[in-house]
Amino acid sequence: METRPERNGGAFLIDRAAEMDGPYVAVVGQAGGGEGGRVGATNIGRLRQGKAARGGANVTSWHLRVFAVVVGVMGCLLLAASLVMSALHQVQFRNGAISVNFRGLQELKQNFVRKEQSEQIMHERLLQMATLATSKNESDSGNFALWEEPYKQARKWTPCAAKYTLEEEPSEDNNGFILVSANGGLNQQRVAVCNAVVVAALLNATLVLPRFLHSSVWKDKSQFGDIYQEDYFVNYMKGDVLIVKDLPSHLQSLDLEAIGSQITDNDISKEAEPSEFIRTALPVLQKNGVVHFLGFGNRLGFDSVPADLQRLRCRCNFHALKFAPEIQKLGSLLVQRLRGVSAMQTEMDTQLFGSNMLDRPFGDKSTDDAGGPSRYLALHLRFEEDMVAYSLCEFGGGDEERRELQAFRETHFPALVARLRNTTVSPEELRSQGRCPLTPEEAGLILAALGYVRGTFIYVAGSQIYGGATRLRPLTRLYPNLVTKEDILSSDELAPLKNFSSRLAALDFIACASSDVFAVTDSGSQLSSLVSGHRVYHGRGRAPTLHPNRKRYAQILSEEAGIEWAGFQKRVRTMVDEYKRVRARPRGRTVYRQPRTPGCMCRADDDGSIDF
C-alpha cells in the first residue's frame, strides 16, 4: 500500500516535502492466515492419531498468535491514521479555509530548489539557539505584549486629514491641465498619484486621472480604474483639486513633447521643493495649457511642503484611494480566512473594504464561535532576485551566487554594471552600513529574539524569494506556519488577477495592513512604507509594526561567535523598541510612512485639547 502525504495549505509540510525525494511507503506484510492454514493441514495429516488433540491445540495457538499480530498491526495503522488526521486538522485550523492546493511557498521549492542543496544558512549558531528558544516559548503563546503597541501615547494621535478642505474650492478657470504618467509598481504609482494631487493644487491646475506606465519589470498593463475606484477618487478630492478622466479634445491631438510640455524625471530633482515646480513647470503650463510629467518617481519633497498641501497627500493616500470592488472583495476573503472569522473587525477593515466587506466568505462554513479571531503576523520579505542583485551584497552562496547575480545585473541593470567597471565595492562594508536586504533566516532570528513562538501564524508578502526553498527553510525551521495569498485563496479565486502583478500586490497590501503585527525587513520598500503609514493613521494606536535597524542588526550579527542567546535577545529587542517609540514625523521622513504631522494627524493632549 503506497501512501502519499497530504498536500494541504499552510507551510507545515514544507520541510517534510523537501526532505522526501519520493513518497514514503508503508508496507504491511500479509498475515499468514491462508499459507499457515495449508501448512497446518499438511502437518496434521502426518501426525499420529494419538497426538491429534495436542496438534489441534498447537494449530489453534498459532492462529491466535497470527490474529493478535494482525490486530496489533491494524491498531497501529488506525493510530497512525488518527495522528495524520489530527495533524491535518491543525493545518486547517482556520475552519478549512486554507486552499487545498498548496501552491504558494511550495512553488518556490519547485521553481528554485536544487536537489543537491537542502538549506542556505549564514548564522548556524544563532539559528540553533533560536530553534530551541521558539520551542521553549510555546508556553508564552498568549503573551499579549507581543501583539500590542507598547506605548499608549500612540492612541492619542487620530486621523485629521478628512476634516478640512481648502478655503476656496478649485475653479475651472485655472492655469491648465496636469497629466502624469507614473512608472514603477503598485506602491510607487500610489505615491505618484498623491504627489500629483499636491502639484496640481500648487500650480492651480486640473489633474487628469493619472496613467500608469507599462514596466518591463512589473509587466502589468493595469490602469487607474483597474486598481482604484475612479469616481470615488474624483468626488472625494473635488473640494481640493479638479480631476477629469481625459484631456479636452483640443489638447489630445497635441504632441506634448514637441511643444515642450513634457517634463521627465531628469528635469525635476528627486524630492524637489515646491518652488522648483513653480519655477520649472508653471511657465510651461501657462504657455501651453498642459504639462505632462513622465515618470514622476518621488519628485516632490516633504519638509518644505506647507501643511495645507501636506494634508492633500494624506487625504489622497488614506481616504480617496479605494481599491476596486473586485480587489476589495477578494482582499476581504483573504483577511477573513487569515483571521478565521467573518465579521468586520476594525476601522482598518472599514477603510480597506467599505461596503465590499463580505458578510461571509463564499462557500466557507466558518463560524464566529469557533474560538474567535486568530492572530497573524504579516512579514514582508524583500529578498527577490532583483533586490538582491542590485544591493551588490553577498549572501553566503559563494562563486555560483556571484556569477548568477552578476549575470542578472548585466541583463537588467546595465547602467549599474557600467558604473561599477572602475569602482571597487566591498560587500562586507555594504553589510556593515546596513545596506544589504535581510535574508529570510535573519528575519526569523529577529522574530525569535522578540519572543514569537514556533506556532505563530505568518503571512508572507512579496514575490518569489531568491534561492527558493533553500533560503526559506531556515525560516520555516523556526516558523513552520508560513502562508502566502496563493495558499489561502484558490486558483479559481485568484484567476481574475492572474498576470496582473499590481492587482496581486494590492492583496499583499491589504493582508499586511490588516495584520495584528506587521514586520518590515527593508526600510526602503514602498510597500513597507505605505502599509506602516496606514497602520499608524487608521490603527488607532493598536497596530504595531516591527522595524529593525539594519545597520545595528548587522553589527549584532557580526559578533554572533561570542554572543549568547540572552544577549542577542536583549540587543534585538532594544533595536526594535527604538522604532516603536511614538514621535512626530522627523525632518526628512515621508508622510506616507510617518503621518504624525500637521495637516495629517492630530494629537490629543492630556488636558483634552487637540494639537494640530
Do 305 and 330 fall into the same domain? no
Residue 182 is which amino acid? A
| 275 found inside a domain | yes
| 201 found inside a domain | yes
At 61, the pLDDT band (50, 70, 90 cuts) reads low
Question: Do residues 434 and 401 make contact, with C-beta atoms less than 8 angstroms apart?
Answer: no
SS3 sequence, 418-483?
HHHCCCCCCHHHHHHCCCCCCCHHHHHHHHHHHCCCCCCCEEEECCCCCCHHHHHHHHHHHCCCEE
Do 543 and 492 fall into the same domain? yes
Short-list 376, 362, 346, CA closest to 519: 376
Q: How many CA atoms lie within 13 A of 321 on its CB side?
A: 25
Question: What is the spatial distance between Cα 119 and Cα 469, in angstroms, rounded to a whole number?
Answer: 8
| 168 found inside a domain | no
Question: What is the spatial distance between Cα 592 and Cα 515, in angstroms, rounded to a whole number?
Answer: 18
Q: Residue 128: which H helix or E strand, with range?
A: helix 124-136
SS3 sequence, 536-562?
HHHCCCCCCEECCCHHHHHHHHHCHHH
Q: How many domains would you assign to the chain? A: 2
Length of the chain in residues, anyone? Answer: 612
Short-list 573, 591, 575, CA closest to 532: 591
Question: What is the spatial distance between Cα 270 and Cα 191, in angstroms, rounded to a whole number?
Answer: 13
Do 193 and 301 fall into the same domain? yes
Question: What is the spatial distance between Cα 433 and Cα 430, in angstroms, rounded to a whole number?
Answer: 5
Q: What phi and psi, each to the nearest 5 degrees, are found at residue 326?
A: -60, -40
Do 449 and 546 fall into the same domain? yes
Averaged confidence pLDDT in the chain: 81
Q: Determine how many CB atoms are found less than 10 A away from the CB of residue 558.
A: 12
pLDDT number for residue 81: 52
Do 249 and 330 fall into the same domain? no
Q: What phi and psi, each to the nearest 5 degrees, are found at residue 379?
A: -120, 120
Instruction: Give the Å distances, CA to CA, from 296 to 179, 191, 267, 529.
Output: 10, 9, 10, 18
Which of the pair, 57 or 461, is modelled with greater confidence?
461
- Rounded to 5°, the CA angle 41-43-45 comes to 70
Q: What phi and psi, each to the nearest 5 degrees, are found at residue 290?
A: -155, 145
| 431 found inside a domain | no
Do 448 and 582 fall into the same domain? yes
Average pLDDT, stretch 267-278? 93
Average pLDDT, stretch 273-277? 94
Do 220 and 344 fall into the same domain? no
Residues of the chain above pLDDT 70, percent: 74
Beta strand 177-182 pairing with 290-295: parallel
Question: What is the spatial distance between Cα 104 and Cα 106, in angstroms, rounded to a whole number?
Answer: 5
Grid cell of 479 as nine digits: 516558523
Residue 180 β-bridge partners = 293
| 1 found inside a domain | no
| 202 found inside a domain | yes
Do 231 and 256 fall into the same domain? yes
Alpha helices in 6-120 (DSSP H): 14-19, 33-46, 52-91, 104-112
- Decide if pLDDT at 573 tops 70: yes
Q: In which domain, by residue range, is 183 found?
A: 177-319
Residues of the chain above pLDDT 90, percent: 56
Question: What is the spatial distance between Cα 347 and Cα 159, in angstroms, rounded to a whole number?
Answer: 11
- pLDDT digit string (tens) for 78-130? 555 544 443 343 344 344 333 333 345 655 444 444 444 467 899 999 999 99
Question: What is the spatial distance between Cα 276 and Cα 213, in angstroms, rounded to a whole number?
Answer: 24
Task: Out of 7-11, 131-135, 210-214, 346-350, pick the least confident.
Answer: 7-11
Which of the pair, 145 or 377, is modelled with greater confidence?
377
Average pLDDT, stretch 446-454? 94
| 88 found inside a domain | no
What lies within 8 Å, CB to CB, of 416 at 6+ separation is 390, 409
- Decide if pLDDT at 602 tops 80: yes
Question: What is the spatial distance between Cα 11 and Cα 185, in angstroms, rounded to a whole number?
Answer: 28
- pLDDT digit string (tens) for 214-248? 876 667 899 999 999 999 999 999 999 999 999 99
Task: Out of 45-49, 245-249, 467-471, 606-610, pick the least confident.
Answer: 45-49
- pLDDT digit string (tens) for 336-376? 999 887 665 788 999 999 999 887 544 454 444 444 558 89
Do 140 and 259 fall into the same domain? no
Residue 377 β-bridge partners = 458, 517
CA-based R_g, the chain, Å: 30
Short-list 525, 404, 520, 415, CA closest to 466: 404
Do 462 and 557 fall into the same domain? yes
Estimate the crossing angle of helix 501-514 against helix 526-538, to 10 degrees: 40
Kindly report the pTM of this predicted structure.
0.79
Do 489 and 503 fall into the same domain? yes
Q: What phi and psi, each to the nearest 5 degrees, are found at residue 591?
A: -75, -15
Do 477 and 575 fall into the same domain? yes
| 152 found inside a domain | yes
